[in-house]
Chain A
Amino acid sequence: MAEERGQGVLVIGAGIAGLTAAIEAAEVGVPVFIVEKEPYLGGRVVRFDQYFPKFCPPSCGMEINFRRIKANPLIRYFTMAEVVEVKGMEGDFQVKVRINPRYVNERCTACGKCGEVCQTEIPDPFNYGMKNIKAAYLPHEMAFPMRYVLAPEIIGTQEALRCREACPYGAIELEMAPVTVDLRVASIVVATGWEPYDATRMENLAFGKAPNVITNVMMERLHAANGPTQGKVLRPSDGKPPHTVVFCQCAGQRDENHLRFCSRVCCSATLKQVQYVRKQYPDSQVYVYYIDLRALGRNEDLLSAVQADPNVHLIKGKVARITEDPVRHDPIVEAEITASGKISRTMADLVVLATGMMPTTAQERPSGIQLNCDEDGFVLDAAGVYGAGCAKKPMEVSATVQDATSAALKAIQSAVRR
């Protein structure tokens, strides 16, 4: 696959940004290589239950995107892979990609026999550890590629041998070692996305200590029919339905000590999640503490819908401290109400922290690649290397798709220019 000179595009990251950039470029007729660190394509969005403002499932658009990939021989993708070296310049980059062992080869039919015999369980990364899964697993029900993974934890154990024995298709290869692939491309799209900001870093908000204080990304899994609670929003401590739910906006965002910027999406995401709660529990009471409610563009309709609900209380104020009742694990939210200057105290059943988007590149950058980043770690465009989606700026899904389509054009221009 290494060509004389690169004509194609390397896309790092296969979330909605990377997939879009890759597919859009390939449908123009350009060869594309996708490098994804997870064992599946789809990134962060496949862990969302519904998109705002339509309350529609991300898997619907993903199905189309995966079909486009399957139908297009110009797209090659590598999962469990990372870029380890980049040399050259715009028009001709030489790239080394390391593919880490999955211990399952392409003969896998996802028949599930290995999972049936495997007894070891590991925390499910797809569900943010909110449940356990077998160590021989399909990353999630609708995973693409639909191929199992063996967790490295069981390699070298009897368990792994049992899994291999159970496979009727010779798909389990315990000797699998990392493989390095050389690529030559004209340009690179960096679509490494975002990580939820680590909520344990805000000690006053009790995340990680009080079980009924969760983050907005966990809320998505709780509401998902294929999540740990089969789609019922339940308290992690006791599995009971919540009555009073508090959303805490800007949990780290717009804060010099954490994320200086606004993540742009969290207000709309909360307005969506408020409706998750209200639709499941008609008697529930919901409180939202915010600095500003930023429902941009047509998402204002989401805000109007929530404002019309008498059981939702939108309060300008800052959550100062969350503690919990040590016996019942009910979170107690203390907030400074802007209008009165007073401190309010709310006994809640569940607290959702609207944590922000931290660019993945703020913590780890693809090694061997000279990336231009701003102070917050967001990728800046350079000759032949283009950011796409949340690697570049915080943005919602539709803006990400728009931005990634733009990145696809820039990547193609690099190939034309050389």
Chain B
Amino acid sequence: MDRKIGAYLCTGCAIGDGLDMEQLAKVAKGDCKAVLCRTSEMLCGPEALALIKQDMASEGINALLIAACSPRAKTEAFCFDPREVLVERVNLREQVVWSHRQPGTEAQKVDEDVQMMAEDQLRMGAARLQNMELLVPYSEEINKRILVLGGGVTGMTAALEAAKAGYEAVLVEREAGLGGFAARLFKQYPEAPPYRELEEPVWERLAESLKRESRVSIHCSSSIERIEGAPGMFQAFIRKGEEVIQEKVGSIVLATGFEPYDPNRLGHLGYGKSPNVITTVEMEDLARAGNLSRPSDGGKLQSVAFVLCAGSRDQEHLPYCSTVCCMTALKQAMYVREGNPDSKVFVFYKDLRSPGQYENFYRRVQEEEGVFLSKAQIVKVEPQEDGSVLVEVEDQLMGERVQVKVDLLVLATGMVPRTSLGEEAKEEPKEEAPDKKQDIASQLLIPTRIIRSNTLNLAYRQGPELPELKYGFPDSHFICFPYETRRTGIYAAGPVRAPMDVAFSQEDARGAVLKAIQCVELTAQGKAVHPRAGDMSYPELFMQRCTQCKRCTEECPFGMYNEDEKGNPLPNPTRCRRCSVCMGSCPERIISFKDYSVGMIGSMIKAIEVPDETEEKPRILVLACENDAYPALDMVGIRGGSYNPFVRIIPLRCLGSLNLIWIADALSKGIDGVLLLGCKHGEDYQCHMAKGSELANYRLAKVSETLDRLALESSRIRVEQIEISDYHRIPSIMEEFLETIQEVGPNPYKGF
């Protein structure tokens, strides 16, 4: 496009006090090639904004270089349609003037180094504008139906609620009937005030409503053979006996639930040693069959003991708490009491967990005569000849050993997510010869585990199922964004995602459906989903230069790329989360977004003026994650902190978009050091692109080649993990790095 840049410089908020604005305007009209340049004391005010719009209308300005506050401030004021006008905001306030105030001087005079920083940041902004294109959203015909996998309470709720919101749903259940695990329940524990009485299971009502809902098509006795495609255009191949049915859907709710923990591994608690040692699951079966009696001989249940955390909260078995077993045991204690008012029930627990208002039900059970609850450790379980079971416990309330002989021992077992059942999908071994550097770098990456649970069977290059997070759950790991999986358009809900009960599963199903609906609606407009919701850019590949190295297809945290048999990447833009990790991974630099590219950042780096080494003005390039490090840099200024003015800051969509050429660009230009600020990685990663900062770290391990080639010191590159709230650490990080750079001395490439 033919660019007409208008530069708008704000002098308000002390910007004008700290900088020589006239000089800055000269740079705007000179180096930045702005056809007009205006200054305003309040650029965000309605008067100045009206002037900008007038310039666009009458002067044909179509690229705005706005040098004022941080793009995080006054965002709404400077919001223009990225399909119609190019906008770049240069952060003079927070990151130049406010973070470089001269302490103690009332009448601020312009500091030469701060002025140089402002001028460079302006040039860098202009370079960005010069390399940016108007956005054209990705457009495809989008199917808005929702596929729900699993016909238990979660799946049925999801399908029904989607229909109630006006969307068609397709439900696939592997069993012949609906209901899932809930169909085995005799009663449910109370989910509504006053939380005291047992309730009828909800699943039957759900199944009835579902059958009457014309917008939901149900496939029972069916499983997913394969899912191809991407959000808005998934093709699901559903196997039903001999037949394969093909359904087009837009997004997917994964609600395949859990399996009870295998009790055969609980021999130490007596399972398998007597028919009178059963699990809470089997207890439901007995109750539902109206047969609450001793399995060995049908005798009346005079005494029953429950052992909680049977195989849960146990490093040998399930390390986590399944959140429902305590309540289930309390419920079943009531079954026993209601079946035989003379019975005695012992409940042995580690901690009795009746969270929230469920405490009311716990209180109800405590009021029940004949129920004895005790914090206890199981010492031994011994089936007796008369069919009874002897349980010896270390009672931690009484501080003594206690033995009870019971007719029935019930083990409260935990939940195992269905997605954890299966073989691990192994990466095919790399073709390239193992070299040592590669090995060291690879160790920096936490492998993504995908288990072949035969659930989704995605025809994706990165594997058939959702990546596992921990203990087999495909949870998001984001406390604030629990529905984010690493496969766009696929949302896990219910106990497959995290242990939860019926009430929570139903809310979880609604939440997942909302996200599934949102996904098809945003996709239909060519917009990204979380975390860059609304972004209309997407990656475009210049395939003629592709060398089939497969880095993009391997590294995309969201499995966006498929691959053809030659190893060419096949992008699926509606799977893309716009993190630009692929752009960083590509050694040929063929992946670009219209408003973000390797060349663009490179030209920003090249726009930095590097003084001669005799001037003793080092230059440090800071590449900062846009979501966390960049706001933290703003906060330094907002708090009146400061750091050296030798830094030049470029925000990156994600540190994972780091392309090593930028390091080479910077160093070969004479920039003395490069500081990379990215999110925490590792087990408790905070990178919202899941793997971005980790991948940047991995790439940097290979940067030594570049440095060796240039005969430069490795200490010129530093990567720091920084949280958004770490702003108090930034000044010292900056100063320490500057000291290091000064010790190493000037980059010998200055002036080349």
Contact = CB atoms under 8 A, between A and B. Distances in A.
Interface of A: 16, 24-25, 27-29, 49, 51, 54-65, 67-68, 70-72, 107, 109-111, 141-142, 146, 168-169, 224-226, 230-231, 254, 260-264, 292-301, 304, 316, 338-340, 374-376, 378, 380, 393-395, 397-399, 401-406, 408-410, 412-413, 416-417
Contacts of A51: 479-480
Name, among A57, A378, A404, the residue most crowded by chain B CB atoms within 10 Å (CB to CB): A57
B73 A146 contact: yes
Interface in B702-752: 723-728
17 contacts: A28-B521, A56-B479, A57-B723, A61-B479, A63-B628, A64-B627, A141-B638, A225-B727, A261-B359, A296-B321, A376-B193, A393-B356, A394-B356, A402-B483, A402-B507, A403-B507, A412-B165
B415 to A, nearest CB: 10
A131 to B, nearest CB: 15
Contacts of B76: 70
B599 to A, nearest CB: 26
Contacts of B500: 297
Interface in B1-48: 12-14, 41-42, 44-45
Contact of A292 (B73, B352, B499): B352
Contacts of B688: 64
Contact of A316 (B315, B375, B478, B725): B375
Contacts of B513: 409
A121 B509 CA distance: 49
Nearest to B75: A70
B479 A264 contact: no
B454 interface: no
B260 interface: no
B447 interface: no
Given A297-B321, A300-B321, A405-B511, A28 B518 contact: yes
Contact of B73 (A110, A225, A293, A405): A110
A210 B725 CA distance: 31
B531 to A, nearest CB: 5
Contacts of B498: 297-298
B517 to A, nearest CB: 6
B611 interface: no
A262 B354 contact: yes
Interface in B339-391: 349, 351-360, 363, 375
B478 A61 contact: yes
A60 B514 contact: no
A397 B513 CA distance: 20
B19 to A, nearest CB: 15
B511 A300 contact: no
A301 B354 CA distance: 19
A406 B639 CA distance: 38
A16 B470 contact: no
Contacts of B482: 398, 401-402
B131 interface: no
B684 A55 contact: yes
Interface in B634-665: 635, 638-639
Given A406-B511, A409-B161, A61 B518 contact: no
Given A54-B684, A60-B724, A141-B639, A408 B514 contact: yes
B69 interface: yes
A61 B397 CA distance: 43
Nearest to A395: B356
B263 to A, nearest CB: 20
Interface string B303-320: 000000000010100011
Given A61-B481, A294-B353, 18 more contacts: A27-B533, A28-B521, A56-B680, A62-B480, A67-B72, A72-B534, A111-B14, A142-B635, A146-B73, A169-B42, A225-B725, A260-B359, A261-B360, A293-B351, A297-B320, A397-B479, A406-B508, A409-B161
Nearest to B525: A29
Nearest to A62: B480
B356 A24 contact: no
Contact of A416 (B166, B356, B511): B166
Contacts of A297: 320-323, 498-500
Interface in B506-541: 507-515, 517-518, 521-522, 530-531, 533-534
B164 interface: yes
Nearest to A111: B13
Contacts of A231: 728
B489 interface: no
B194 interface: yes
B80 interface: no
Given A24-B514, A398-B479, A416 B359 contact: no
A376 B357 contact: yes
Nearest to B534: A71
A110 B628 CA distance: 21
B290 interface: no
B510 A410 contact: yes
Contacts of B627: 60, 63-64, 67
